[in-house]
Amino acid sequence: MSDTVLFLCPHNAAKSVIAVTYFRHLVAQAGLDLTADSAGTDPDAAVWPSVIELLHDDGLQADQRIPRHVTPEDLAGARRIISMGCDLPATAAHSSNVEHWDDLPLASQDLPAARDAIRAKVETLVAQLRSSTGGMDAGG
């Protein structure tokens, strides 16, 4: 199992893209040796242009991302899975390494509020990972 955080949302076009982009940025700033990826359970054809623009306005790049379907290998290989409103396969749904962020605003209704809530959760996650001696095994 790698030190990968896997961010999932249904369409891999908004919430999970925002989360993985902020996570990668904050982990790089903190000098942590962690990786992240994102996927969806029913991916769209492209990341929302409004998400790309929002992240760009924050000085971050997401325009290279292409939504993709989560695979069994993704789920098995991630040290921590962050689900944002996904119906996960039974094999992953009750796993101890799954954290549910189901209290986020809908990106389709208020993208800036969704971004702010996701960024706050990612900041907390990165702080937990930074302060833990066991890396990914710390609280969840």
Instruction: Encode pLDDT of 93-136 as tens digits.
Output: 556 789 999 999 999 999 999 999 999 999 999 999 888 744 44
Residue 14 has pLDDT above 90, yes or no: yes
The mean predicted confidence, pLDDT, of the chain is 88
Average pLDDT over residues 30-51: 94
Q: How confident is the model at residue 82, as a pLDDT? A: 95
Which candidate, 52, 51, 40, places its Cα nearest to that of 6? 40
The CATH H-level (homologous superfamily) assignment of domain 4-133 is Response regulator (3.40.50.2300)
pTM, two decimals, is: 0.89
Q: Are 41 and 69 in contact (CB under 8 A)?
A: yes
Q: Are 98 and 23 in contact (CB under 8 A)?
A: no
**Residue type at position 44:** D
